[in-house]
Structure 1
Amino acid sequence: MDLFNEIKKKLSHEFIDIIEWLDNTNGTIVHRFERYQNEIKNNAKLIVREGQTAVFINEGQLADVFKAGTYTLNTQNLPILTTLKGWKYGFDSPFKAEVYFVNTHLFTDEKWGTKNPVILSDERFGLVEIRAFGTYSFRINDPGKFVVDVVGTDGNFTNYEVNEHLKSLIVTRFTDTVGEANLPIELYAANTSELSETCTEVMQPEFGRVGIELERFYIENVSMPEELKKEIFEYSRLDKLDMVKLSQFKAAKAMEAAAKNEGGTAGAGMGMGMGFVLAQQMGNMMNPQGGQQPFGGQAPSAGGPPPMPVQVQYYYSASGKQNGPVPFDKLKELFASRTINRDSLVWKQGMQNWIALKEVEELKSFLGGNTPPPLPI
């Protein structure tokens, strides 16, 4: 059987060869035409279809390149090969050469992406990390250079193989480009079209060195960590907010939270007092030249009254229970009606412990001559 196949292959050389390649794949860039011992008969027919180029390699050297068309292979159509071989009288016997068919059509929708985050320096946020991905398209515009420099002796070279090389090149040049762009970090995602065009210009010479033309390069998305996104959004909001109104809003929220604390009425009273003080302090911080500013955002007019003082609230014990808070005047009425007396325990904000009414400086006025004597028995 092996002898029969050998005879059949040799007999096939007695007929005119037809060299062609029908591509039934979507990803083959270079296909080596297989011949028995790489022998091609004189006057063989070479058929190169649209979107193809045939590259002849003889003894490791580029011999000739044929574009789309039908050729008869002889000394007239192979002048370079003839020179390399040193044949003066044409081909009277088969010659040896390798024929590589190169797909020159456009390869589209090739994917690229950053395997590792790209670290950039931002004036406001310091060192930040971004990732990016997208697509690109290319074609082989110098088949001879591509076969010699990239393909070598690979008999079936696919776009997957070349993409591994191109992706590394793309990521390197993309990193250089975004680093030199020196944009605020939040603008990278908003300027993908401009960055794509710049990257195309930067990468095109690198592709051309191996016979490839970069037709299109697209950045589809630039992403960053969620924590950085939240920080950027918060920064952009603060940049547009009225800080006086923001301080007043926060003061109101603080009052609401204090009122909900445990302690019932006590918490509500203290929360209101603290809230008003906080609102006034933050208003002064936001408007240092305007003097004190009451809660509500309106500064007092010239000659107008100052803000109302916050009344001190007192808690008192009666019948073994805690009562209050009540203002000074109400506490005085309770003393006059003998609901409380000089030994009753009272407390106000700022005191560490409950103390007798007679020991509170501002309440000693209750103990004057207006205090009635005890009822007769």
Structure 2
Amino acid sequence: MAFFRNQFATVVEWEEFRDDMIFWKWSNREIKKGSKLIIRPGQDAIFVNNGKIEGIFEDEGEYSIDSQIIPFLSTLKGFKFGFNSGMRVEVLFVNTKEFTVKWGTQNPILIPTPQLPGGMPIRANGTFIFKVNDYVTLIDKIAGVKDSYLVEDVKIRITSALDQLLMKWISREGKDMFNLQANAFEIAQGIREDLDMQMYDMGMTITGFQVMSFNYPQEIQDMITRTASHEMIGNLQKYQQVRMTDGIASGNVKGGGSAADMAGMMMGMNVANEMMKTMNQNQDQKSAADTKSASTPPSEAPEGGKKPNFCPNCGEKTNGANFCSNCGQKLN
């Protein structure tokens, strides 16, 4: 008899649970006497009747609807099940966890900058974190017309607003257009606050927003790297000089035309300057050597270096010889 009495009993639970699903609606079915409600960890169950919240149940577990749920419903607490009648209400299951989502700009954002009339094309990527925080607004704005809602739906809405917000906060905080990473925290904080205001209208809140990196076009990145390697950031004239010298050395600057002619002329002038510098250095070194030689007194001949005309031993005439021909005396 008990089996006959509960043969129409139902189990109210999140049947299509997914980690990326924000809420799921159990609806269009009749709840009979003896039915059960199952709430799993990380879920809240909201009973809704005619668009109005009747009760919110947050503790996980298994509950008897007629004895443990109905007594707490605001306008249905006096409902009595009949043999052939049941209760028709919607049960909205909400995922209570925080969702972490990766984002990235689909197209380059043109940030106004005096250096580039068309703007600096920049891409960015990072993560944002959100969660449901207002069930009344969620039901009023989304759940009232949808049976489920995915993280991807929120991501689409967020990314559609990111281009304008990135442009706004980069222009405001990005003092150095070539080193935006230094201001990434301030830029991310500003964007989080603006996004949170938009998500507030959906019953959700942005609990975190991070910019992991800013990416420049490859030619701009190469310029930054080259400029940094020569310690010339911000000095365009020196960068151009180094760029032209590198091009000539690598053979990339060749052929006719004004650019090649100017490059050849500059290279010739540089070579001539280096030659003149070397010649001047050599001339200076020679002059210094001559000056030193002139200032040094000549060495005096040793005493007694002159040969005698006559041998001091025997008196024989020496005739300029080194030794006396008569007695063999050494003459110097």
Pairwise TM-score range, normalised by the shorter structure: 0.5 to 0.7
**Contact 1:132–1:220 (CA under 8 A) maintained in structure 2:** yes
Match of 1:118 in 2: 109
Q: 1:181 aligns with which of 173, 178, 190?
A: 173
**TM-score, scaled to structure 2:** 0.61
2:12 aligned with 1:19: yes
Aligned to 2:126: 134
Q: Tell me which residue corresponds to 2:261.
A: none
Q: State the distance in 1 between where 2:108 and 2:201 align.
A: 28
Per-residue deviation, 1:14: 5.4
1:32-58 C-alpha deviation (Å, 9 max, x unpaired): 225xx5222356433323311112222
Structure 2 Cα separation of the partners of residues 271 and 173 of structure 1: 46
Looking at structure 2, the residues matched to 40 and 272 of structure 1 have their Cα atoms a distance apart, in angstroms, of 90
Task: Identify if the C-alpha distance between structure 1 residues 162 and 201 changes in structure 2 by more than 3 Å, giving closer, same or farther.
Answer: closer
1:330-345 equivalences in 2 (<5 Å): none
Deviation at 1:275, TM superposition (A): 4.6
Is the CA contact 2:173–2:186 (under 8 Å) kept in the aligned structure 1? no
Q: Distance in 1 between matches of 2:112 and 2:93?
A: 47
Opposite residue 295 of structure 1, the aligned amino acid is K
1:13: how far off?
6.3
1:28 corresponds to 2:26 = no
* Percent identity between the two aligned chains: 23
SS state at 1:116 partner? coil
Where in structure 2 are the equivalents of 1:307-346 lying within 5 Å?
A: none
1:197 to 189, 192, 195: 189
Between 146-155 and 48-57, the greater mean CA deviation after superposition: 146-155
Residue number in structure 2 paired with 1:295: 277
**What is the aligned partner in structure 2 of residue 77 from structure 1?**
72
| Residues 92-121 of structure 1: CA deviation (Å, up to 9, x unaligned) | 44221111111111222x221211211112
- Conserved 8 A contact 1:62-1:148: no
Q: How does 1:203-352 map to 2 (within 5 A)?
A: 203-236=195-228, 237-239=231-233, 274-275=269-270, 295=277
**Structure 1 residues 153 and 48: alpha-carbon distance in aligned structure 2, compared to 1, 3 A threshold:** same
Count of residues paired in the alignment: 252
Return closer, same or farther for 1:148/1:39 CA change in 2, 3 Å cut-off.
same
CA distance in 1, matches of 2:15, 2:103: 29
Structure 2 residue 99 is the aligned partner of structure 1 residue 107: yes
- Max radius of gyration: which structure? 2
Structure 1 residues 198 and 30 mapped into 2: Cα distance closer, same or farther (>3 Å)?
same
Give yes or no for the alignment of 1:41 onto 2:35: no
Instruction: Quote how far apart the aligned CAs of 1:295 are.
Output: 3.4
The answer as to 2:47 corresponding to 1:56 is yes
The code of the aligned residue for 1:140 comes to V
- Quick one: which amino acid aligns to residue 79 of structure 2? G
Post-superposition shift, 1:225?
A: 1.3
> What displacement does 1:64 show?
3.1
Q: Which amino acid aligns with 2:215?
A: S
Question: What corresponds to 1:371 in structure 2?
Answer: none
Unaligned runs of 5+ in 2: 252-264, 282-286, 288-332
Which structure has the higher relative contact order (CA within 8 Å, separation 6+)? 2
Tell me, in whole angstroms, the C-alpha distance in 2 between the residues paired with 1:254 and 1:43: 88
In structure 2, relative to structure 1, the CA distance for the partners of 1:61 and 1:180 (3 Å cut) is: same
- Uncovered stretches (5+) of structure 1, i.e. residues with no partner: 1-10, 258-269, 281-293, 300-304, 306-377
Contact 1:18 1:46 in 2 (8 A): yes
| SS in structure 1 of the partner of residue 72 of structure 2 | coil
Cα 1:238–1:203 shift into 2, 3 Å: same
Aligned to 1:321: none
Alignment TM-score, normalising by the size of structure 1: 0.54
Alignment CA distance shift 1:148-1:156 (3 Å)? same
SS at match of 1:238: coil
The alpha-carbon distance between structure 1 residues 273 and 23, as it changes in their structure 2 partners (threshold 3 A), is closer
Alpha carbons 1:247, 1:279 under 8 Å: kept: no
d(CA) in 2 for partners of 1:272, 1:178: 41
